[in-house]
């Protein structure tokens, strides 16, 4: 069972990637994922480390880092970065709180607290972090040639 989960999770991570919508200026995007581990030191204190995941188990905390860089010849502005969330991962927040999310595969977007999810009986309920399928950032600040930045979000393996 664990091997199957590892294989499935690895495949999902390989398929998960940020995309960008921008005008004429090329934007380079790279994505990395890390698993957060707590290491107990000899003195009893704990140190938090980020490691490339070789195997994850339900409950593991993940940190996703999407780096963007203007590799064009002009300043970029008003670009959008969209990132699907692997189905095996529950969204657990971002480092900046500037994202909007989708809970329906990217069809509708909003701040998590404003979205609703349809229930089987036809009523709706407030969307939860576990409902998030995609994240999106609308980056309006100019990004000069060669400049770069990063977006960080967290997840928990289901």
Distances (CA, A) of 155 to 38, 39, 120, 139: 16, 20, 26, 22
pLDDT, mean over the chain: 87
* Domain containing residue 84: 2-157
Per cent of the chain over pLDDT 90 is: 77
Question: 3-class DSSP state for residue 102?
Answer: strand
Domain total of the chain = 1
Strands (E), 18-88: 19-21, 27-40, 46-51, 61-70, 79-84
CATH label of the domain that carries residue 108: 2.60.40
State yes or no: pLDDT of 23 exceeds 60.
no
Q: What confidence score (pLDDT) does residue 25 get?
A: 57
Question: 3-class DSSP state for residue 58?
Answer: coil
- Residue 56 CA, chain-centre distance (Å), reads 17
Query: Is 143 exposed, middle or buried (CB count within 10 Å of its CB: 0-12, 13-18, 19+)?
Result: buried
Measured over the CA atoms of residue 94, residue 97, residue 99 and residue 100, the dihedral's sign is positive
**More confident site: 91 or 14:** 91
Task: Give the gyration radius of the chain's Cα atoms.
Answer: 18
pLDDT (tens digit, 9 = 90+) per residue, 54-80? 999 999 999 999 999 999 999 998 889
Backbone angles phi, psi at 130, to 5 degrees: -70, -15
């Amino acid at each position: 069972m664990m091997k199957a989960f590892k294989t499935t999770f690895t495949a999902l991570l390989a398929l998960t990637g940020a995309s960008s919508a921008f005008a004429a200026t090329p934007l380079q995007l790279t994505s990395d994922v890390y698993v957060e581990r707590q290491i107990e030191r000899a003195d009893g204190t704990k140190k938090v480390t980020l490691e490339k995941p070789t195997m994850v188990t339900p409950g593991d905390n993940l940190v996703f880092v999407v780096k963007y860089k203007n590799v064009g010849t002009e300043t970029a502005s008003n670009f959008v970065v969209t990132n699907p969330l692997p189905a095996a991962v529950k969204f657990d927040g971002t480092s900046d709180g500037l994202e909007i999310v989708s809970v329906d595969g990217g069809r509708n977007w909003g701040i998590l607290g404003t979205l609703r999810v349809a229930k089987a009986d036809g009523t709706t309920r407030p969307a939860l972090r576990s409902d998030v399928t995609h994240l999106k950032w609308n980056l309006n600040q100019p990004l000069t040639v060669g400049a770069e930045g990063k977006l960080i979000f967290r997840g928990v393996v289901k």
